[in-house]
Structure 1
Amino acid sequence: MKIAILGTRGVPNYYGGFEQFAEFFSVYLAEKGHEVYCYNSHDHPFQEKTFHGVNIIHKYDPEYKYGTFGQFIYDYNCIMDSRKRNFDIILQLGYTSNSIWFFLLPKQPIIITNMDGLEWKRSKYSWPVQQFLKVAEWLAAVSSDYLVADSLGIQSFLKKTYKKESTYIAYGAHPFNSPDTTVLNEYHVEQGNYNMIMARFEPENNLDMVLEGVSLCEDKTPILVIGKHNTKYGEYLKNKFKYFPHIRFMGGIYNLEHLNSLRYFSNIYFHGHSVGGTNPSLLEAMASQALIAAHNNDFNRGVLKENAFYFSNPAEVKNLLESVNKNDNTHKIKNNYEAIEKDFNWEKINGDYLQLFEECFSRHKTANTK
């Protein structure tokens, strides 16, 4: 099959979850003998024409000049290019800025869209932007040939809201079992004697709720707050909790081996995300054998089930800090790790996507020969 991947800043991954998936999946497809093309921003750090057998198409992306609006121009450029290439399948990762151009997509290829999370629920967006995202979601849902949901909650939402079936394929993570104790010295923490939370500094990730619970607790065990905090919301949080030195704002940490070791040796790993599907950082925490305390919502429960603690307010965070010890909950850690090996490993995820592609392609060919 001749396959294109749209909707990311490109591969290899220098940005986030969809880019990481695009990298793993595109290389997997190429290794299986398919002709694969991935669209990259023109200013992507990787400027070669191929990446491990994947063809790279660079297209002008003015996001650096216009901010978010630039993504619409980039997606337009990618879609217009796709009209010239006779693809069998186009995989769209997300819908935020490409769905408005749905009428420009080539008619011949099968359009498969991963519907991402419920973007319009994110509180960082103004009301008009949230309304636009609702329309964009609807356009993607009704114009795509097939939909992919990366959580059962998203799958249920698509069925209920748009009467559209979707294929549930989760996200993936690599099992981690080689922690490095020397990493602890670099971050000035001791094994089992610190907690952590990692997230983008956005209100719906509930950093404020977790840190409020930390501030209420008499215990002064350090908590590492990992994520880029040079934002308006980040400045707000740093100012609010500036009198609590055990709340340590670490900034972004992009060394995956360091992150995995920090998660592995932490006492409690807090996961505050409340919007979206299967969150990549949650799976990585499970794969790193962290003891997880997660915000109490259907998305997190759908992944973690009974193998985590849950919180809905600062008081519950405080209670967890005062009562939970990692050494007493090895069964939860083991169950999550086994779930990664069985259900959320990249080989399975890639295989599930390829199986969907093959089924769609076969169905399409049969329909066209009748």
Structure 2
Amino acid sequence: MKLRIAILGTRGIPNYYGGFEHISEYVSEGLVKRGHKVTVYNSHNHPYQNDAWNGVEIKHCYDPEYLMGAAGQFVYDLNCLMDARKQNYDVILLMGYTSSSVWGRLYPKQSTIITNMDGLEWKRSKYSKPIQRFLKYAERLAVKHSQYYISDSSIIKTYLADKYDIDSRYIPYGADPFSLNEREQMSKKQALKEDYFLLMARMEPENNIETILQGFNSSNSRKQFVVLGNTENRFGKFITHKFKNDNRIKFKGAIYDTPSIRVLQNNSYLYFHGHSVGGTNPSLLEAMASEALIAAHNNPFNRSVLNADAFYFSNEGDVCNLVENVQRQNNEQAMVNNNAHKIKQHFNWDNVVNQYEEFAIECYLKHNHDRPVKTQQ
């Protein structure tokens, strides 16, 4: 069965922003290769301005976020929905609900609506109490107006079942294993473990960036600490100012070139993953795939992915202890190998795309059980 599928709720593809854009790249391209007609909605000012990308149709909708700030996201999502109402898609996949579920009554009635429920957005400490209350409301609206649901973490799946008594489908993010070709393209210098720690994240409080860097700052390590992420927002400026006198800490800005990121992760002595809110985080899977040794914030989301194959920290003291004492020996290499095996067996993109395709078809058939099934030649 071949379906007409639209993906809404992202800033667009190819990815220049974050997790939902990252997975939308792979899922949309993968579904096209499986014979489906896929459309992804892009912001009108997305850097990629063509009408197609790797077989995926691109629709550009007006996005006033550059004029209105965060409120512009609601207008952008409304514009995407109003266009989608005219298109008669078989399936609409909504990536998140923060600025779209308020328009739930406008979701196209003829389409099967599947929402990726994201990761407990209302828990993010960057949001004020009123915004957190709104996000809880938006979550309820997403449950009310969607027909089917995806959780990218087993923790989110359990939460939705307990909170709303709904059965969401667990489909994680994916990553590509570190390939033989990538190894062969690395120089001899790159192939050696470099003398630096690494952190890659959006500059947000809930990513524990301050905790990680404060722990490193108080250590006696002689290694450098490389930080990847756009530091132009308020928290980013605060962090760079706070640690400006520690010459070991190097803020490198945001990097979206995947091969470069993978080499940096692979070469790092220890990769710090500070995300504490949300589901399965794409940058964590990329680090696992890149065969980095990982130190992760101690929370259920990270533990559900890494299990015993990582070091964990909860505070600055833990970070300082890891920085000063972690060794790269046989036990640590076993942790790296185990995580690489998880990517190949469970978190690989073919598996993820297959699950999205199977779920989309299953939901479409359920939604249309009383109507003749459409087929495309």
TM range (shorter): over 0.9
Residue in 1 that maps onto 2:353: 350
Out of 141, 148, 151, which is 1:149 matched to? 151
Question: What is the one-letter code of the residue matched to 1:265?
Answer: N
Residue in 2 that maps onto 1:365: 368
Cα deviation for residue 181 of structure 1 reads: 5.0
Moved over 3 A (4+): 179-185, 367-370
**1:271/1:293 contact within 8 Å kept:** yes
Cα deviation for residue 123 of structure 1 reads: 1.1
Cα deviation for residue 311 of structure 1 reads: 0.5
Aligned equivalents of 1:85 and 1:240: distance in 2? 50
Q: CA RMSD in A?
A: 1.8
> Residue 253 of structure 1: SS of its match in structure 2?
coil
Residue in 2 that maps onto 1:331: 334
Residue segments in structure 2 that go unaligned for 5+ positions in a row: none
Taking the TM superposition and a 5 Å limit, the aligned residue runs for 1:40-51 are 40-51=42-53
Out of 201, 204, 207, which is 2:203 matched to? 201
Residue in 2 that maps onto 1:57: 59
Residue in 2 that maps onto 1:31: 33
Taking the TM superposition and a 5 Å limit, the aligned residue runs for 1:1-370 are 1-177=3-179, 178-179=182-183, 191-328=193-330, 329-368=332-371
**1:155/1:167 contact within 8 Å kept:** yes
Aligned equivalents of 1:204 and 1:117: distance in 2? 12
> Residue 366 of structure 1: SS of its match in structure 2?
coil
Aligned equivalents of 1:342 and 1:168: distance in 2? 16
Question: What is the one-letter code of the residue matched to 1:167?
Answer: R
Aligned equivalents of 2:260 and 2:13: distance in 1? 22
> Residue 367 of structure 1: SS of its match in structure 2?
coil
Cα deviation for residue 190 of structure 1 reads: 7.3
* Per-residue Cα deviation, 1:118-152 (whole angstroms, up to 9, x for no partner): 11111111111111111001110122110000001
Cα deviation for residue 331 of structure 1 reads: 0.6
Aligned equivalents of 1:285 and 1:183: distance in 2? 21
**1:151/1:277 contact within 8 Å kept:** yes
Instruction: For CA contacts below 8 A with separation 6 or more, give which structure has more relative contact order.
Output: 2
Aligned equivalents of 1:48 and 1:229: distance in 2? 29
Cα deviation for residue 245 of structure 1 reads: 1.1
Aligned equivalents of 2:203 and 2:12: distance in 1? 23
CA distance change for structure 1 residues 236 and 184 in 2, over 3 Å: closer, same or farther?
A: farther
> Residue 127 of structure 2: SS of its match in structure 1?
coil
Cα deviation for residue 82 of structure 1 reads: 1.2
Aligned equivalents of 2:137 and 2:68: distance in 1? 22
| 137-146 vs 297-306, which moves further | 137-146
> Residue 265 of structure 2: SS of its match in structure 1?
helix
Question: What is the one-letter code of the residue matched to 1:166?
Answer: S
* Per-residue Cα deviation, 1:63-107 (whole angstroms, up to 9, x for no partner): 111111111111111111111111111100000100000001111
Aligned equivalents of 1:311 and 1:60: distance in 2? 43
Question: What is the one-letter code of the residue matched to 2:107?
Answer: L
**1:183/1:261 contact within 8 Å kept:** no
Cα deviation for residue 182 of structure 1 reads: 5.0
| 85-94 vs 214-223, which moves further | 214-223
Aligned equivalents of 2:236 and 2:107: distance in 1? 39
**2:229/2:253 contact within 8 Å kept:** yes
Identity, in percent, stands at 50
* Per-residue Cα deviation, 1:232-290 (whole angstroms, up to 9, x for no partner): 22222222222321112222222221211111111110000000001010000000000
* Per-residue Cα deviation, 1:3-57 (whole angstroms, up to 9, x for no partner): 1111011122222221121121112222222122211111222222222222221
Aligned equivalents of 2:33 and 2:237: distance in 1? 45
